[in-house]
Each structure stands twice: as C-alpha cells, then as structure tokens.
Structure 1
C-alpha cells in the first residue's frame, strides 16, 4: 500500500467518525467504563459478522441464479493481501525478458539445464555437530540424489572446497548449528560459485511427521514456486542445480521450494493413487425395483483418488547473503546481502 492510499483511507475513516458524531452515535472507544466499552464493542463486532454473512449469502444466490440462467456470474472481489499489495520492484522478471534469458543461458548453472553436467553434492556439517544435525543430514541424503555425506573433522571450508573440486563435486551443502540445533545452511556451487548463506528454522525430521512416507530412489520432480525477481530466479536456479533435470515420474516424488514473503518453505511429498468406493444416495422405494437394487449392491462403483503423502524433512530458509565465487569471508564480493534496514516495510520483497 502506497503512502497516498494510506492517507486516503485515514481520511475516509475520519469522515465516518465525524458523520457518526453529528448523528449522535457513541463509538465504543468513547465509552470510559471498561465493562460497558467491551460490551459495546462485542455488539458492534456481532453486527459486522451478521452483515458479512448476509453479503456472502447474497453473493452465492446471485452466482447460483446466473449459472441457472446460463450467464457469467459476477466477478468476486480479490481480497487485499500482503502479497498482492507488495511494493513495486524494478527487478521483477517478465516472461518475455530477452536480457534475462540471455544471462541465464550463459551463467554458472546453464550446463546443468543443458544436461552437460550431472549434479554431485557433498554434504557436511560444522566442526562441532550434534545428533539432531546428523539426523537432519540423514534426511537430506534421502531427498537429494547423488548426495554424499562427509564428516567435517578439523578441516576449514576452503580446504573442503579444494577437495570437492578435485573429486568432481558440483555443489557443497554445509549445515551449521547453534545450541545443538541446526540453524544455518551454506550452499556453494562449484567450481566458480556463487555461495548462498541461509538461515535455517522450523526443522521437522521425517520421523516426527505423522503418517510420513518412505522416499524411493527415483529421481524427484522439482517444483519452484514464486521466485519472481532476478535475484529470485538466480536462487531458484541454484536449488535446481542440486537435482538432476530428468525426473523419474514412476517414483511419484515431488520436492518443493515455495517462496512466500522471502521465506523459502521446503516440502518433500509422494503422490498416491487410491481406489475408493462411491456411496450412492438412497432413492425412494416406489421408484426403484428390489431386483435392480440388489444388482446395484453387488456391483459397487469405485473412483480413483489422488492424494499427497509427506515424506519429510520439513524446514524453512531465509537468505542472508549471496556471494560471488566460492566461500571467502574476508575478501569475497557480495551480490546481495541482507541488512536490518531492509525489514522496515512489510510489503517489500526481494525474491
């Protein structure tokens, strides 16, 4: 919401208050007694609920009438959300942006999408790691194909980068921890970078998810949602470079990175097809013959239903920085870095 729109809404609310004051209507906020003020507020709230229900009924009736007459139903109002009132961003990627397509055709990830390189990922932890972090790494090994876990030991990250390049690894994932809980993820693309640092939160292991499924060895289908800016495109391509670009649909596995308000939600599912009996409505006895009713009971109808089963793990990422080249904390150049000043507006997003 822009400043001008906010000022217009405030002016409109002020006009309503003045109109109520001229009409002699006492607002709940003007009542000094706390008990009476809360009672008045509850009544106003209840009246608003009734008006809202009446509007919904009228809308549904109008839609039903239009469909019966074969007309187009009246369009529904789009609710105002933080997402659809986001601040305008010059870096929003357009589908016909030739410059962006040319950049993506020659960037560090282009070889993965041309099938010239097969992803090979090295997974490790911080030097001091605990059981929850190692269990989280075990879950990641079931998600990412061609991923190998190496114990960190006393090696620093620059040594690990050199080792991984010599062993023809394409990416490194480092899971950091704090107070014996995983709290950070570092993704390094090899051999030229970039390096992304993410804050890791809301980690739920596979065993903790109720009714979780077991992932097969089939290569998963990758779903990237809502990476709309140029920076978002780059981060999405980095995630895509961790997975082979030829999914095996027989495995029915789907890995999702969903971006919402610059928080990246990770989910891992498998979809299942099940046959379910259809329960028919009881018809009147006068219209149905008893012989036909018996035949119907003998031949139950079935319907195929698709549903999702979560395999896990489940976690949330928030990007803190994106660095040129491989990891270098002293002399590295940053493409993008998160600063406290960026959080002043709730409707400003970067991915």
Structure 2
C-alpha cells in the first residue's frame, strides 16, 4: 500500500507540474562519457558502442541523401547541391600571381624562356647527375634510381671539383641540365637543379625518401620514355618550376612502356611518384555453384582492369630558392627565396 501511495503521489506531482507549467527541479542523471569510466574494459566497450552508433547514423544519412538525389532526378527536378568540405586548399588566400587560362601575354613569354628549346623538341634533354663532395651510403642508391626514372641521364663522380667547373664542363658537353644530390648524415636531404646554358637554378629541400627496395610489391621500370604528369603548378612561380622539371624529360613519351612519372604539388610540397600501369583481363564474378561447360566459360563476359605498380623512388621536394643564371652562392641574383616570415598563414601558398 505504501508503494502504491508513493507512486500516485509522484504521478499527481508530475500532472501538477504540467498543468502549472513549473519546471521540474529534481536532479537529472547526466550521460556518462567514456573518459569518466575508470574500468578499462568497460570504457573501451562503451566507446566501441558509441562509435558503432555514430557509424550507423552516418550510413542512414548517406542512404537518405542518395535516395533524395535519385528521386529528384526521376522527377526531373534539380538535386540539392553536394556539400563541399572546407579544406586548406579550397580556402587558399587570394594570389595575384595565379595564371589565368586566357592570359596571352604570359603564354607568349613562355615561348621565349630558357626551357622553350627543349619543350619545343628543338634539342634533346641530356641530364648530368652528380653529388656533393662528401657522399653517403644512400646517395648512390638514390642516384641509381633517379637514372632509371629520368631518360638520357648520366652520373659523374664529384671528386674535388667545384660546382662552377662542373657547370662549365656540362655546357661544353652539351648537357641541358645538372642535378646535384646533397647528403647530410648519410641521408640525401637536398636537390639542386641547374638549367643550362643560362640557368635558372632551383634549390629544393628533399625529405621522406623511400627507395625501391623498401616499397612493397614494387616493379622494375623499363627503358621506355615515360609520360610526365604535373599537377597544381598554378602560379607564375609554379609554372616556372613546372617547366624546369618538364625540361628534364623528353617530350615524346613511349606509351607502349606504360611508365608514368608524377610531380604533384600540394600546399607547396612537390610529391614525386614513379609508376607503371598494367592491364589485366578478368572474368566477371558469377555463381560459384554453377558448373558450366568449357563453351559456356569461353562466352562469360570479361572486363579489363587497370592497376598501378610503383617503381620508386618516392620522395618530397620543398622549394627553398630560385636563382637567376647558373649556381652562384655569393653574387647570384634570386628570383624567389623562401623566408621564415612568409609562413604567417597556413592558407598562403606560392607554387
């Protein structure tokens, strides 16, 4: 009886609160967060449950959005615009040096720059690769893989020669570019690319080097001339760097070799990748229980699948400076130099 009386009294109190509009001031139980649970097993179980619930909710939203999109197309209506996530790339600060596609003045200037003779196929690119004076163990291995990635590239030992003497020798031997691999603490850490005969000279910081032997399921490149892919070199400086990189490679790729060399610029970091693409013919999956005859198996539909196989090496470049003419550490004039005070904003890019 006492329990029933308590229950009725509670019900009446609730009804009175609803009727009078007064707020219930009784303390309510707050939801316990996983971080507040001391028991490790219970905490991980609660966290896993919350994570699963979020995933289920996300899937439901995606299904509802896709259904609404299909329904709008069927009814002939305009579907709702897809939400574009805010990223550092699409919220980039406005830059006056970004090239417009119809900028005829700029395109005319490209035809008369230092790289035009190579890019117009008037001369064949010929690259000399050398090292700094104090070489390391990983330096020669990296150079060996660079030689396999860049056609018509030749390695010369540095010895005790000064860089000016090497540039002079390369000019006499009709090389179009010089690449110097700098090493520090037994690790390649910088690249110097010098355009010949009159420059310019680009100095890059090199990082995240992965050699071919360390890449899982890597492939061995052939001697075919590769296709070259340059991505996101949108500014005037970026265009200049892109054309310098382009001048290292022949402009008549052998597509039969299926080799691709990629320089992808993202947030002023240039990522180098070297791939081969392979075509495979595969049968479409059917019912494994069906025992078909040979004649039927021959008639089964087949599809061609293209897959990539990385050949290496893999590394990242960051532009430090671009200098007029060939290398001159003392009296050289710089087109562009990266300084610490330039990194005031995460959304400011130069290439």
* TM-score, normalising length: structure 2: 0.83
Match of 1:167 in 2: 173
Alpha-carbon distance in 1 for matches of 2:28, 2:118:
68
Question: What is the aligned counterpart of 2:100 among 94, 101, 107?
Answer: 94
Alpha-carbon distance in 2 for matches of 1:45, 1:279:
34
CA shift digits 1:285-330 (9 cap, x unpaired): 9xxxx9x888534643321111111111110000000000000010
CA shift digits 1:119-150 (9 cap, x unpaired): 11000001111121100000000011110000
SS in 2 for 1:162: helix
Change (3 A) 1:298 1:94: closer
Residue 55 of structure 1: how far off its partner (Å): 3.0
Change (3 A) 1:274 1:282: closer
Task: Answer yes or no: is 1:324 the counterpart of 2:350.
Answer: no
Alpha-carbon distance in 1 for matches of 2:147, 2:200:
22
Match of 1:130 in 2: 136
Match of 2:145 in 1: 139
Match of 1:35 in 2: 36
Task: Answer yes or no: is 1:156 the counterpart of 2:162.
Answer: yes
Task: Answer yes or no: is 1:181 the counterpart of 2:204.
Answer: no
Runs of 4 or more off by more than 6 Å in structure 1?
Answer: 24-28, 42-50
Contact in 1 for aligned 2:205/2:318 (Cα 8 Å): yes
Match of 1:199 in 2: 205
Alpha-carbon distance in 2 for matches of 1:220, 1:297:
38
Point out where structure 2 has 5 or more consecutive residues left out of the alignment: 1-26, 38-42
Match of 1:338 in 2: 338
Match of 1:83 in 2: 89
Residue 280 of structure 1: how far off its partner (Å): 2.2
Alpha-carbon distance in 2 for matches of 1:294, 1:244:
48
Alpha-carbon distance in 1 for matches of 2:194, 2:253:
23
Match of 2:24 in 1: none
Alpha-carbon distance in 2 for matches of 1:282, 1:214:
36
Change (3 A) 1:98 1:294: closer
CA shift digits 1:178-233 (9 cap, x unpaired): 10000000000011000000000011111111111111111111110000000000
Alpha-carbon distance in 1 for matches of 2:295, 2:128:
62
**Looking at CA atoms only, which structure, 1 or 2, has the larger radius of gyration?**
2
Point out where structure 1 has 5 or more consecutive residues left out of the alignment: 1-23
Alpha-carbon distance in 2 for matches of 1:271, 1:345:
38
Change (3 A) 1:270 1:62: same
Match of 1:262 in 2: 268
Match of 2:70 in 1: 64
What RMSD, in angstroms, separates the aligned Cα atoms of the two structures?
A: 3.0
Q: How does 1:247-326 map to 2 (within 5 A)?
A: 247-281=253-287, 296-297=296-297, 299-326=299-326
Alpha-carbon distance in 1 for matches of 2:112, 2:296:
63
Contact in 1 for aligned 2:136/2:185 (Cα 8 Å): no
Alpha-carbon distance in 1 for matches of 2:153, 2:218:
22
Alpha-carbon distance in 2 for matches of 1:51, 1:58:
11
CA shift digits 1:1-60 (9 cap, x unpaired): xxxxxxxxxxxxxxxxxxxxxxx99999xx9xx838xx9xx7999887666444323212
Alpha-carbon distance in 1 for matches of 2:134, 2:112:
38
